[in-house]
Structure 1
C-alpha cells in the first residue's frame, strides 16, 4: 500500500495528512540517532561515558589509585566505578560484563582473557614484638611453621603463592588463622598471635614504625606480578 507523505504545489512541498501523522516519530528517531552519534564521538575522544574497574581493596589502595587519579585529572568527564573482588571474582566479573578490566595477581588460568603486566611486588614474613626472637637469624621455611601461621583466605592469590612456596620445599602448610583484610592481619601479628605472610607494600608503615618485624629467610622469595586483565576488545593505557 502506497502512502503519499509530501504534496507538491507552486509554493514548494508540504506534508500531507499522512506525513504529518508520522513526522513526530521520524523526528524522534532522528534525534536519537544524533544523540547516539554525539555520545560515540564523546567516547572516542574520552569526553564522556564511564569505565568500571575491578580489583582488591588493597591493590586499589596501595598500587592503582595513583594511576586512576592521573586518569581522572586528564579525563574529568569520564565516570569511574571501582568494584571489589579477589582474582577469581575479577575474572568472573569480566566474563559477565560487570567490569571493563581488572587488576589481578598473575598468572591467571583463564585463557579467554588478555593480560599484561602492571608492576612487580615483594612478599615477606613478619612478626610482632612478642616474637622478635625469630628475627635474629636467617630462617628455613620449616622453622616458620613452629609458630602459628596467619594468612589471607585460602582462595587468595597470596595464600596460593605461599602454598607453592612451601610445596617446592616438600612441605605441606596449613594456616592456623585466616583473615579477610590487611588491617586484621596486621592487628593479629601486632598482638603476637603468630607469623604472617604479606605483601611488603601493605605493611610499609608498620615496618617503619617498628610495629612489625620482617623475617630473613634462607630461601629466596621471588617477586610476584600484578597485571591488568581485560577482554580482547578493551584497550588499557596506564
Structure 2
C-alpha cells in the first residue's frame, strides 16, 4: 500500500468529495474511484457509502481512516526527524584523535576548514588509538587520526603527515648543547618511553633495532604530555614527534636534538569506515587533511 494512496483516501474522507480530492491531487475523479475500489478489494469491505450525498464512511471506512491517518502522521514525524538528523549530520563533524595529533598537528587544519564552513561544528575528542579504531568502526565518530595506522579491510586509511622524530632532553642535560647525536649513544642514557604495545613505541623500537641500539627505559607512559613533563625535570631523555614539543622548545623548557644517522619520522594516518556516508563538509575536511599542507 502506497503512502500516496493513503493520502488520497484520507483527503476523500475529510472532504467528502470526489471532485475536491481529485483537484487536490491533480487526478481525475475516475482515478480516485479506481484507487478507492482497489482498497476495498484488497481489504474485502466497503469503505464509503456512495449513495449518500455528501459521501459517508462506513464503519469499516471509519476504522480504516483512523488507521491510515495514524500511519500518515507517523510517516510525517519520521520525515521531520530524518530531515533534522540529516541537517544535524551536515552541520557537525566528529573526530577522534590521539592527544599528540589532536593538540599539535590538527588545529591549523580546523582553522582552514572553518574559513570555508563557518557554520559546521567540528567536535574533537581525544582517545587511545585502540579506542579510535573501535569508535570509527562502530560509526560513533566520522574520522579518526592515529599514529602508525594499521590496515583493515573495513577501513579507508589515508596518509596524514610524517612527523619528524627528535631526541628530547632537559636544558640541564649534558646533551642539550649537542648539534646532532649518533643514535647509538642512546644506550648509555636513561630513557623515558611510551608504554609497550603502543603504536608509537613499537615504531620507535623498530627504528632503534635497525641500528642495533638497546635503550634502558626507566619510565613508561601512555601519552606524550606526561613524557614531556618527566623529561623537563631531567628524569631522562626521550624520542618524540617534534610537532608535539614546539611549545616547550619556544619556551625553553625542552631541547630537541636531531640524529646524525638519518632523519626519523613517525607516520600518521586518517581512518574512515568504508561504508560511511559523509556530507560535503566531511568530504572536504578529509580532502584538506590529505593535502598534508595548510
Same-fold status (TM-score > 0.5): yes
Instruction: Normalising by structure 2, report the TM-score.
Output: 0.68
Q: Give the 3-state SS of the residue equivalent to 1:163 in structure 2.
A: helix
Aligned residues: 235
Q: Which residue of 1 aligns with 2:247?
A: 205
- Residue of structure 2 equivalent to 1:226: 268
Residues 1-238 of structure 1 mapped to structure 2, 5 A cutoff: 2-9=44-51, 11-38=53-80, 40=82, 47-49=87-89, 50-68=92-110, 70-71=113-114, 74=117, 76=119, 81-234=123-276, 235=278, 236-238=283-285
Task: Report the alpha carbon displacement of residue 206 of structure 1 after superposing the two structures with TM.
Answer: 0.9
Secondary structure of 1:220's partner? coil
Residues 94 and 231 of structure 1 are in contact (CA less than 8 Å); yes or no, is this contact kept in structure 2?
A: yes
8 Å CA contact 1:132–1:213 kept in 2: the answer is no
Q: Which moved more, 1:104-113 or 1:6-15?
A: 6-15
**Higher helix content, 1 or 2:** 2
Shift of 1:157: 2.4
Unaligned runs of 5+ in 2: 1-42, 286-294
Deviation at 1:75, TM superposition (A): 6.3
Query: Does structure 2 conserve the Cα–Cα contact (< 8 Å) formed by 1:135 and 1:216?
Result: no
Structure 2: how far apart are the matches of 1:135 and 1:85?
35
Compared with structure 1, are the counterparts of its residues 38 and 163 closer, same or farther at alpha carbon in structure 2 (3 Å cutoff)? same
Given the two structures, how large is their TM-score scaled by the length of structure 1?
A: 0.82
If asked which structure has higher relative contact order (CA below 8 Å, sep 6+), I would say 1
* Deviation of 1:189 (Å): 0.8
Q: Assess if the C-alpha contact under 8 Å between 1:3 and 1:18 holds in 2.
A: yes
Structure 2 residue matching 1:223: 3-state secondary structure: strand
1:140 & 1:231 partners in 2: Cα distance?
41
Give the Å deviation of 1:149.
0.9
Q: CA distance change for structure 1 residues 59 and 16 in 2, over 3 Å: closer, same or farther? A: farther
